[in-house]
A and B are shown apart, each in its own frame.
Chain A
């Protein structure tokens, strides 16, 4: 499968626990994006990387959130001390260097109980 892969598909965690999600973009895509989508809303931008550099972070991304993309390949999004308000679908997308349209992954659905 040459698409964008996200792992896990679903995650249920207790409030206060830390969680980490992984995204594997299409290999030749140098830009990688994280979005969050809550029920009834469209995706909201969180952060993006060009290769290994994190170029922009949304104000939605509190100090409890951190993202990395070591070596410019896969990316991880970590949420520390999860809160119920973090429950959402976390989407990853990548874009090729000359393109414009995102290729989205299937997302990771986080439920904080």
Chain B
């Protein structure tokens, strides 16, 4: 069965420090991975997906099939990055997502 693991419930970094939010997955098929973000009092929204290989708000994520990982990275954290981040794995043909438990990122001044 598919599973997404986010080992850190809370990650606290100082402004300007690098950020890495960890995500590991377990899936027998060809994975398609996403990062979703939820800012305080806002809706859950898509941040990025691995297929597009883009940088959004300075964040990037590379799919590593050998390590079954999809870690989210940003070189210099900003205060506005403070939010809840969820890694998600698409399974099957119906766009169904399996989410991790989320990591709360707190950027301190």
Contacts and interface: CB of A to CB of B under 8 A. Distances in A.
Contacts of B101: 40-42
B94 A42 contact: no
Contacts of A91: 44
Interface secondary structure of B, over-half rule: strand
Interface residues of A, number: 23
B69 interface: no
Interface of A: 3, 31, 33, 40-45, 48, 50, 55-56, 91, 95, 100-107
Interface of B: 4, 9, 32, 34, 36, 43-46, 49, 86, 88, 90, 92, 94-102
Given A43-B44, A100-B90, A102-B44, 17 more contacts: A33-B95, A41-B102, A42-B4, A42-B99, A42-B101, A43-B86, A44-B99, A45-B96, A45-B98, A48-B94, A50-B94, A100-B49, A101-B34, A102-B46, A102-B97, A104-B45, A105-B43
